Amino acid sequence: MDGGLAFPALVAARFLLALAPSPAVLKHDQLLSSPLTSFSRLQEGIFLFENGIDPYSGGSFRHSPLLLSLFSTVLPLTRLTASLLWTASDAIGAWALIHIWRSRQNVKSSPRDGLLAAFYLFNPYIFLPTLALSTSTFENTLYLLSLLFACQGRSSASLLTLALLVQLSLPSVLILFPVVLLLVSDCVSRLASPRPFAADIRKTLPLLAEFAAYSLLLTIASTLACGNWSWVEKTWGAPLLLPDLTPNPGLWWYFFTEMFDHFRPFFLMVFSVHLLIYVLPICIKFQHDMLYASFLLLGVFATFKAYPTLSDPGLFLSMTSLFPEIFPYLRHPIVTALLHLHASLLLPLFNHLWLTQGTGNANFFYASTLVFGMANGAALLDAVWAGLRIAVGELKDGYEVVQE
Amino acid sequence: MHLVYLVLILCFNLSRILALESREQFDEELTLRPLRDGKLGARFLFTTLLKGATPRRPEALLTMTIHYTLFPLALGQVLREYAVTELHLTLNAGNWNYGQWGYPDEPGVGTGAELWAWMGDGAPITIDERWQGLRNALAGLFCASLGSLDEQRTTSPSLTFQPEGSLPDWTTAHQLRHATLPSEHVCTENLTPFLKLLPCKSLSGIARLLNPHKLFDADWHGLGVHVRYREGAGVEVRLAFQAVFDPVRYSHDKRRDWSLHSVFDRSIDKACPVARSSKVRVGLPKDRYMISPDPSVIDDRFATYLVGAAGEALDVAMQWPEEPAFQYLLASGAEPLTDISVRRTLKGSSQSQAQMALVITNNLPVQVQASYLETMPWLLQFYLHTLRAYVDGVSRDDLVSIISYSPPVPHSRPTLLQAILTLPPNNTLQLTMDVTKTFLRYTEHPPDAQRGWDLPPAVIIPFSFGELLSQNHSMPAAAGPALETRPRRIYTPVMLVDLATPDFSMPYNVIIMSCTLIALIFGSVFNLLTRKFVVVLVDEPASKVSPIESATCG
């Protein structure tokens, strides 16, 4: 396939798909958009904002004030502009993915470009949320852009996109650590030849300060845009306090629906800290390849974050195409693939049976989120195993790798 | 000397009591209206006026002792304690059928409990704290779950619930608090404390007819407590009981003839001695009827009896001798009795999304403006940007203007939506709006969660009528006499929303299973990250482990 033509062709196909009439049921699908990313809630917030009512005074609008001011001033949201904008965001994401690959391989172009773009643009976990106009599409694009700029060593651009991303979704601040380390090192693949972290760790301090400055600036901008500080609790507080228990493919909602009231704060703390706890070990273990560490952390977030949608695991799965060297070493690829297939069939089916058909109950959907959690966990474990296993290299017959 | 002194004191006290007694006056009235669907509407009204009194200023201290003879003391203490200027409490069961019964004599007919109060600001204790104290005190007084009317139900829709009396001219402003609890029911345990507030209890006067066995068998019944301040007159308490009976159901031969005895199983045997006036008014139907005994006063709309005038038990009876059996009107042939008719529904079978539809028909040949109020608990959240108005299938968004909207906050505050609707003459306006249903914690669901949640009624008030009205357009016939001059509230029936329920038996299972999955992944990841990779020879059985290569960096 010619890499030069494949990308425009794929993007064009996606635009056609976006303009084709999509069923309205997608917009309210709980798998594709969470309360933090739902398009209907974004429209409601913009409507209230334009009519002089503070959208953050209520509990349903939880988008960032940046999105609010963007869509209420610069870009009026209609069905058409929204479809085009969301698809363009995906196209930028695919473009970033291709360029991350190029800088990782240190080449100007590669025959894999078309494949990478296809793997991103036509991953159903990526394009279905885009058709549902979930703002998680923008989060994915910003993730990829931030990683791309970090790979290219453009620290300001990378930190600014990351600061923007943190405005949209607070848990992504955890990716800051590997991104900063990636900025002071490089993104060339060293999975097969691990070595201690080469660069000077003290060089990260000015980068962290720069990130803090951008974040502060954007926070002030958000506060000015909405007029008060109430947005902080509504947007950033939501993933920590879980005020909205709308079902999603993650593990939090049913756990906290069924949680005893006096244990709720404790378990909220445990679940939030649990996300945090992966950052350092993964960064230390994969200090030779920070891009891989960021990739693994995205897998952790996709499994364990508070309000995931399908596009979070979608990003993780699409990013596996950046690391073809690990494919021979995946531990149980068939099992993982079947688990994902199983979950992707069960999730919409049981959601429909419970909420629309009324013939199933909440446990059906909960069970399918457990399967989905298993599938994401298995994919994560495969990636961790393969990333470490690759360093051992090819084995002679009769030998096998185990852990001590 | 001592004796003279004693007599003087006695005289003084007696004169004070007499003076106090004349400061309070008590009137009672029973209004009975045969309705066109064969039912009988009854409204008991007990009015006590405390002449010259003013509501307590919120900042004033509670020093003066109070002495009431007729005014209900239990209620008076509550009013003084929380410095309430105006108070309305209604407890109703059933849906008021505006189409067949017309406007009610007492406007507050929303299903369930409704409490609203105007209170002055400026006290060291805030209005919200006094509101909380008030509803708890009333909950105790009336044995109703009014304590549940908490901040999750409380709004301040001051456009719709204007004070019925006057507000004292204090320097500080008055504020409204309003809450509804549509699932609250009314029954004997609420009627008993209600009767205790009456000076004659249910021993004499028209209150004698308040027989719980019959009242709570009625198709619709509700009690109301209304306190208002009338400038220049004093503080007035109106205790009202309203019911709609079905004489056709009681009779053996499907006739709608009724008498006090057949409806209430009692008659009025003696008048309440402290009542200044005690009347029974009977609305006169348009067709041929017979009424007995002969009324004291009769005009073209009402026959009035003065209780105790005849000196014997009063048992009013009305008969339609030419009618062998009551013929029900066909619903389609009946002309509506109200200016506008309202229907509100929740569409859609999904437990996460729905569409709310409001259909308002203007029955007048003139354009009507009406205010529209929704006080929705946060269980149902509006997508206001999807609000659309249609007339004859044509989009007419210009007919709706939103006056105020406060979005709901989960677990704390309800939605308040106040809008002005313009209703074209003799036409139907349809409003639709997408709503989303929330998902609750398992502890927030009520017992029998699958039944769903009652949502409070919407309130519509037609307030501005077009030009034709002045040119002698006849108002619908059943207009109630009580509040003819003021805009009349129309309550929609309550809605039932079914929210998705979790499995209530699952808390431990969910905690165990979710934690197992998390621990499994966490443990596996850290197992991979922390243990060294070694290469072993597996072909030779029971061979030694040969760490050829150890390829880790951690």
What CATH number has the domain bearing residue B347?
A: 2.60.40.740
Domain final position from B207, B237, B254: B254
Determine the Cα–Cα distance for residues A337 and A343; give it in Å rounded to an integer.
Answer: 10
User: Does the residue B16 lie in any domain?
Assistant: no
Determine the Cα–Cα distance for residues B337 and B341; give it in Å rounded to an integer.
Answer: 9
Q: Which of A251, A354, A399 sits opposite B517 (nearest CB)?
A: A251
The total number of structural domains that make up chain A:
1
User: CB-based contacts of B8: which residues, under 8 Å, 6+ apart?
Assistant: none
Banded model confidence at residue A48, pLDDT cuts 50, 70, 90: very high
User: Does the residue A392 lie in any domain?
Assistant: no
Q: Could you tell me if B239 and B373 lie in one domain?
A: no
Write out the two tokens for B333.
């042939």
Mutate to test the interface with A, among B442, B504, B538, B539 (most CBs of A within 10 A): B442
**Model pLDDT for residues A380-394, shown as the tens digit of each residue:** 999 999 999 999 888
More confident residue, A60 or B8: A60
Q: Could you tell me if B52 and B71 lie in one domain?
A: yes
Exposure letters A151-172 (e unless 16+ CB within 10 A, then b):
bbeebeebbbbbbbbbbbbbbb
The total number of structural domains that make up chain B:
3
Determine the Cα–Cα distance for residues B218 and B222; give it in Å rounded to an integer.
Answer: 10
CB of B74 closer than 8 Å to CB of B452: no
CA distance to partner chain B, nearest, from residue A110 (Å):
30
Residues in chain A: 404
**Model pLDDT for residues A187-225, shown as the tens digit of each residue:** 888 888 888 887 888 899 999 999 999 999 999 999 999
Interchain contact, A388 vs B552, CB within 8 Å: yes
Helix, strand or coil, per DSSP, at residue A4? helix
Q: Could you tell me if B100 and B188 lie in one domain?
A: yes
Which H or E run includes A138?
Answer: helix A136-151
CA distance to partner chain A, nearest, from residue B66 (Å):
44
User: CB-based contacts of A77: which residues, under 8 Å, 6+ apart?
Assistant: A42, A43, A46, A71
Q: Could you tell me if B490 and B525 lie in one domain?
A: no
Interchain contact, B439 vs A354, CB within 8 Å: no
Per DSSP, the residues of A265-305 read HHHHHHHHHHHHTTHHHHHHHTTT-HHHHHHHHHHHHHHH-
CB of B524 closer than 8 Å to CB of A376: no
Banded model confidence at residue A293, pLDDT cuts 50, 70, 90: very high
Determine the Cα–Cα distance for residues B83 and B56; give it in Å rounded to an integer.
Answer: 5
**Model pLDDT for residues A340-368, shown as the tens digit of each residue:** 999 999 999 999 999 999 888 999 999 99
Q: Which long-range contacts (CB under 8 A, 24 or more apart) does B468-476 make?
A: B468/B364, B468/B365, B468/B366, B468/B425, B469/B364, B469/B366, B473/B364, B473/B365, B473/B366, B475/B339, B476/B102, B476/B335, B476/B336, B476/B337, B476/B338, B476/B339, B476/B363
Q: Could you tell me if B400 and B454 lie in one domain?
A: yes
Q: Could you tell me if B187 and B241 lie in one domain?
A: yes
User: Does the residue B5 lie in any domain?
Assistant: no
CA distance to partner chain A, nearest, from residue B18 (Å):
56
User: Does the residue B350 lie in any domain?
Assistant: yes
ipTM exceeding 0.90, yes/no: yes
- What range does the domain containing B106 cover? 23-254
Phi, psi of B295 (to 5 degrees): -70, 155
Banded model confidence at residue A246, pLDDT cuts 50, 70, 90: very high
- What range does the domain containing A305 cover? 3-322
Interchain contact, A256 vs B441, CB within 8 Å: yes
B381: left (phi over 0), alpha (psi -120 to 50) or beta: beta
Write out the two tokens for A336.
């993982």
Determine the Cα–Cα distance for residues A366 and A380; give it in Å rounded to an integer.
Answer: 21
Which H or E run includes A80?
Answer: helix A79-105
> Taking CB atoms and an 8 Å cutoff, what residues of chain B touch A61?
407
> Taking CB atoms and an 8 Å cutoff, what residues of chain A touch B506?
258, 363
In this structure, of A31-45, A292-306, B18-32, the range with the lowest mean pLDDT score is B18-32
CB of B355 closer than 8 Å to CB of B431: no
User: Does the residue B280 lie in any domain?
Assistant: no
Residue B468's pLDDT is what? 54
User: Does the residue B528 lie in any domain?
Assistant: yes
Q: Which residue has the tokens 């002495």?
A: B67
User: Does the residue A365 lie in any domain?
Assistant: no
More confident residue, A79 or A37: A37
Q: Could you tell me if B516 and B490 lie in one domain?
A: no
Beta-carbon pairs below 8 A across chains A and B: 200
CB of A292 closer than 8 Å to CB of A186: no
> Taking CB atoms and an 8 Å cutoff, what residues of chain A touch B434?
40
Q: Could you tell me if B529 and B492 lie in one domain?
A: no
Q: Could you tell me if B69 and B119 lie in one domain?
A: yes
Banded model confidence at residue A111, pLDDT cuts 50, 70, 90: confident
Helical axes A79-105 vs A3-19, angle rounded to 10°: 160
User: CB-based contacts of A329: which residues, under 8 Å, 6+ apart?
Assistant: A385, A386, A389, A390
Q: Which of A51, A281, A370 sits opposite B526 (nearest CB)?
A: A281
B83: left (phi over 0), alpha (psi -120 to 50) or beta: left
Determine the Cα–Cα distance for residues A343 and A370; give it in Å rounded to an integer.
Answer: 9
> Taking CB atoms and an 8 Å cutoff, what residues of chain A touch B507?
258-260
Determine the Cα–Cα distance for residues B224 and B238; give it in Å rounded to an integer.
Answer: 8
CA distance to partner chain B, nearest, from residue A71 (Å):
15
Q: Could you tell me if B535 and B492 lie in one domain?
A: no
Report the Cα B251 to chain-centroid distance in Å: 31
CA distance to partner chain B, nearest, from residue A131 (Å):
19
Residue B332's pLDDT is what? 66
Determine the Cα–Cα distance for residues A51 and B12; give it in Å rounded to an integer.
Answer: 66
Mutate to test the interface with B, among A60, A63, A79 (most CBs of B within 10 A): A60
- In chain B, DSSP finds a helix count (H) and a strand count (E) of 9, 27
Query: Nearest chain B Cα to A395, which residue?
Result: B535
Residues in chain B: 554
pLDDT tens track, chain B, 554 positions: 465 565 555 555 554 555 445 789 999 999 999 998 899 999 999 999 999 888 888 888 776 677 888 999 999 999 999 999 999 999 999 999 998 899 999 999 999 999 999 999 888 889 999 999 999 999 999 999 998 899 999 999 998 999 999 998 888 889 999 999 999 989 999 999 999 999 998 889 999 999 999 999 999 999 999 999 998 899 999 999 999 999 999 888 889 999 999 999 999 988 999 999 999 999 999 888 999 888 989 998 999 999 877 678 889 999 999 888 898 877 666 778 888 999 999 999 899 999 999 999 999 899 999 999 999 999 999 999 999 999 999 999 999 999 999 999 988 999 999 999 999 999 999 999 999 999 999 999 988 898 999 999 999 999 888 765 444 444 444 343 333 456 789 999 999 999 999 999 989 999 999 999 999 999 999 999 999 898 998 876 554 555 544 444 43
- Residue A359 DSSP one-character state: S
Amino acid identity, position B343: R
Interchain contact, B439 vs A253, CB within 8 Å: yes
Residue B13's pLDDT is what? 53
Handedness of CA B332, B338, B339, B343 (dihedral sign): negative
- pTM comes to 0.89
Interchain contact, B538 vs A377, CB within 8 Å: no
**Average pLDDT of the residues of chain A:** 92
Interchain contact, A48 vs B407, CB within 8 Å: yes
User: Does the residue B4 lie in any domain?
Assistant: no
> Taking CB atoms and an 8 Å cutoff, what residues of chain B touch A47?
384-385
Report the Cα A342 to chain-centroid distance in Å: 21
User: Is the bond leading into B295 cis (omega within 30 degrees of zero)?
Assistant: no
Residue A181's pLDDT is what? 94
Handedness of CA B484, B490, B491, B493 (dihedral sign): positive
Q: What is the CA radius of gyration of chain B?
A: 31
Residue B5 exposed, middle or buried by CB count within 10 Å (0-12, 13-18, 19+): exposed
pLDDT at A279 over 90: yes
Q: Could you tell me if B31 and B77 lie in one domain?
A: yes
Mutate to test the interface with A, among B351, B517, B539 (most CBs of A within 10 A): B517
**Model pLDDT for residues B444-461, shown as the tens digit of each residue:** 998 889 899 999 999 999
Determine the Cα–Cα distance for residues A48 and B417; give it in Å rounded to an integer.
Answer: 13
CB of A247 closer than 8 Å to CB of B439: yes
Strand pairing partners for B221?
B93, B243
CA atoms within 13 A on the CB side of B182: 21
CA distance to partner chain B, nearest, from residue A44 (Å):
6
Question: By C-alpha distance, which of B455, B402, B386, B349 is closest to A41?
Answer: B386
Query: Nearest chain A Cα to B409, which residue?
Result: A59
- Residue A171 DSSP one-character state: G
Q: Could you tell me if B428 and B525 lie in one domain?
A: no
CB of B10 closer than 8 Å to CB of B72: no
> Taking CB atoms and an 8 Å cutoff, what residues of chain A touch B551?
194, 388, 391-393
CA distance to partner chain A, nearest, from residue B526 (Å):
8
Mutate to test the interface with B, among A61, A246, A258 (most CBs of B within 10 A): A258
Residue A3's pLDDT is what? 52
